[in-house]
Amino acid sequence: MRAMVCRHLGAPDALRLEEVESRPLNPGEVRVWVKATGVNFADSLMISGAYQVKPPLPLIPGLEAAGVVSEVAPGVKTLAVGDRVVGLTSWGGYAEEVVWTEERFLKIPETMDFTTAAAFSLTYGTSHIGLIRRARLKAGETLVVHGAGGAVGLAAVEVGKKLGATVIASAGSAAKLVLARDHGASHLINYAEEDLKQRLLEVTNGRGADVIFDPVGGAAFQASLKVIAFEGRLIVVGFASGEAPRIPANHLLVKNVDIIGLFWGGYKRHDLKDLRASLEEIMTWWRAGEVKPYIGRTFPLAEAASALDYVVSRRSAGKVVLKV
Ligand SMILES: NC(=O)c1ccc[n+]([C@@H]2O[C@H](COP(=O)([O-])OP(=O)(O)OC[C@H]3O[C@@H](n4cnc5c(N)ncnc54)[C@H](OP(=O)(O)O)[C@@H]3O)[C@@H](O)[C@H]2O)c1
């Protein structure tokens, strides 16, 4: 089978298309013929050695992949050859086939195409678990989403809206803000042109935001700390700006603020049951037309390096997917 392989840690152009031998299945494992695979900012961190999970080299990246079950090992109970699934892989998705244990795969609705399925699990799963389990977002609260035109940001806008929050989107371009508006944001702030702190105070009538979902870090995080409401919750999702902020503890004390860490992938190890239940719920929302993953661009598998560069260089909007 063909795969995009990283043999040396580095930038996206470290990825090379190679012929890789398929390995036999161990008991409980499933082989999936990949049709589409999600491109994530985190893939760039993993192949540069900056990600929290550090698989050995050579490495095939890819945190999610959608396709058809082509083989099941003895002991597999819930899946059969021909099932259409999405895989919650920890790596390996940038390939024509992927092998993981059966509980890492979920069946997808008959009407969900593979490109949508590949754009679904990581971003919507992160937003769902982040906003419900971690931040305890309630209907009627104000939710700020930074990087709201990016993959996880846009999903958080939709999930927040579905949960009944008033969503304030912040992003660095007018086009990304229009996208966020079309996916449910009520207020738009362009942090490349406007004073983020000032505008957040204006939009919340000086009260501040109840929940802030931050995949950007840096200046966006610093402004967030200043405009979070009393008993507000600030979710640390990522540092797309390249800057992991330092947190002055006195700010937390004064306003009874929770700073909440979020690593969706951590639930694969610590609570896979809840992670799967979270995705099942979002699939129900998808069937009802309440969330609509936006796929900004697709690339062929062989162009994975360009696809990943497109994401990290801030040109992408919504999700980027590799067609395999
Ligand atoms: N904690 C978790 O479980 C989890 C899950 C998913 C993702 N993440 C993290 O969340 C972050 C975003 O992931 P994603 O897949 O949504 O990526 P993405 O689609 O590239 O979105 C990131 C957004 O960040 C903004 N940004 C601001 N400064 C940037 C910079 N210097 N370079 C690049 N982007 C910049 C960009 O929006 P503007 O151009 O509008 O500023 C971009 O749309 C990453 O750090 C990723 O690792 C974490």
Average pLDDT over residues 159-175: 98
Q: Whose CA is nearest to atom 30 of ligand 1?
A: 241
In this predicted structure, what is the pLDDT of residue 37? Answer: 98
Ligand 1 atom 8 nearest Cα: 238
- Would you say the CB of residue 152 lies under 6 angstroms from ligand 1? yes
Residue 60, CA distances (Å) to 68, 98, 123, 191 in order: 19, 10, 20, 35
Can you give the pLDDT at residue 201? 97
Span 46-69, pLDDT tens digits: 999 999 999 999 999 999 999 999
Q: Are 102 and 69 in contact (CB under 8 A)?
A: no
Single-letter code of the amino acid located at 260:
I
CA of 19 to the centre of ligand 1 (A): 31
Supply the residue whose CA is at minimum distance from atom 21 of ligand 1.
150
Q: Is the CB of 149 under 6 A from ligand 1?
A: yes
Consecutive H or E run containing 161:
helix 151-162
**The tokens of 193 are what?**
């042109």
216 Cβ closer than 6 Å to some ligand 1 atom: yes
Q: Which domains does the chain have, with CATH numbers?
A: 2-120+293-323 (3.90.180.10), 124-261 (3.40.50.720)
Residue 172's pLDDT band (boundaries 50, 70, 90)? very high
Q: Distance between CA atoms of 320 and 97, rounded to whole angstroms?
A: 19
Average pLDDT score over residue span 227-237: 97
Q: Output the CA 79–ligand 1 centroid distance in Å.
A: 34
Is this model's pTM higher than 0.95 or not?
Answer: yes
- Please give the pLDDT value at position 40: 98
Q: Which two tokens stand for residue 299?
A: 């690339």
pLDDT band at 12 (very low <50, low <70, confident <90, very high): very high
Q: What is the pLDDT of residue 125?
A: 98
Contacts of 314 (CB under 8 A, 6+ apart): 172
**Is 170 a pocket residue for ligand 1 (Cβ < 6 Å)?**
no
pLDDT at 63: 97
Task: Please state the atom number of ligand 1 nearest to the C-alpha of residue 236.
Answer: 1
DSSP string, 172-211: SSHHHHHHHHHTT-SEEEETTTS-HHHHHHHHTTTS-EEE
pLDDT tens per residue across span 277-320: 999 999 999 999 999 999 999 999 999 999 999 999 999 999 99
Question: Which residue from 13, 12, 31, 14 is spatially nearest to 22, judged by alpha carbons?
Answer: 31
| Residue 266 banded pLDDT, cuts 50, 70, 90 | very high
Residues in the chain: 324
